[in-house]
């Protein structure tokens, strides 16, 4: 089995499904995802994430804390159909008790570097609700630049939903010899 791009990451296994559900059913996390997600949809998303890693050797990984417990998900995924932006999305979410520990900024640089070296996208996109200033701060720390011209209303949210408007950040592929700090 191939190694992970960072020691705080691992592939999802069936035994990790309860952790996946706990991450997404954390009220503080769910508030940024538009609300709680049904068990059926969470199962389908878990299977997609797990299967994508097996098939492509890149995707959304399980994030481990210092004790080796799964406390989040982080990685890259193709942007789903129906969104007004296209390409590869950087995504992450952690249980709220794991926030503020630097886990995302620890693992994402290796994932981004791996993506740029292995399948050479021109850019990687990250987006979040306009109100999610903490996630935007992480994006900036990872080197993403704001692209207001691509902000959009999330297609899965109602027109009156408080998280409808999403902001877009982009990380361009580094030029040869250049790295993102």
Q: What is the CATH number of the domain that holds 146?
A: 3.40.630.30
CA 82, CA 22: separation in Å to the nearest integer? 27
Q: What percent of the chain has pLDDT over 70?
A: 95
Residue 124 lies in a domain: yes
Q: Within the chain, what is the greatest distance between any pair of CA atoms? A: 46
Helix, strand, coil % in the chain, rounded to nearest 5: 35, 25, 40
Q: Residue 20 belongs to what domain range?
A: 9-172
Residue 2 lies in a domain: no
Tokens standing for 113? Answer: 């570097």
Residue 181 lies in a domain: no
Residue 180 lies in a domain: no
Residue 46 lies in a domain: yes
Could you read off the pLDDT of 63-74 as tens digits, one per residue?
999 999 999 999
What pLDDT does 177 receive?
A: 61
What pLDDT does 1 receive?
A: 40
The tally of domains found in the chain comes to 1
Q: Residue 64: which of 30, 112, 113, 13 has the closest Cα?
A: 13
pLDDT string in tens for the chain (181-residue length): 456 778 899 999 999 999 999 999 999 998 888 888 888 999 999 999 999 999 999 999 999 999 999 999 999 999 989 999 999 999 999 999 999 999 999 999 999 999 998 888 899 999 999 999 999 999 999 999 999 999 999 998 899 999 999 999 999 998 776 565 5
Residue 172: count of CB within 10 angstroms of its CB: 15
């Amino acid at each position: 089995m191939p190694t992970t791009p960072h020691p705080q990451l691992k592939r999802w296994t069936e035994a990790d499904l309860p952790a996946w559900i706990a991450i997404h059913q954390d009220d503080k996390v769910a508030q940024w995802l538009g609300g709680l997600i049904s068990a059926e949809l969470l199962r389908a998303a878990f299977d997609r994430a797990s299967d994508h890693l097996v098939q492509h050797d890149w995707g959304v990984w399980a994030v481990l804390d210092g004790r080796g417990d799964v406390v989040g998900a982080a990685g890259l995924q193709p942007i789903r159909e129906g969104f007004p932006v296209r390409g590869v999305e950087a995504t992450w979410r952690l249980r709220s008790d794991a926030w503020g520990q630097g886990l995302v900024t620890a693992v994402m640089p290796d994932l981004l570097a791996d993506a740029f070296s292995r399948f050479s996208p021109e850019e990687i996109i990250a987006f979040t609700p306009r109100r999610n200033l903490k996630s935007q701060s992480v994006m900036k720390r990872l080197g993403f630049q704001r692209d207001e011209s691509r902000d959009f209303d999330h297609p899965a949210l109602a027109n009156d939903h408080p998280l409808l408007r999403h902001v877009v950040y982009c990380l361009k592929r580094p030029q040869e010899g250049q790295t993102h700090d």
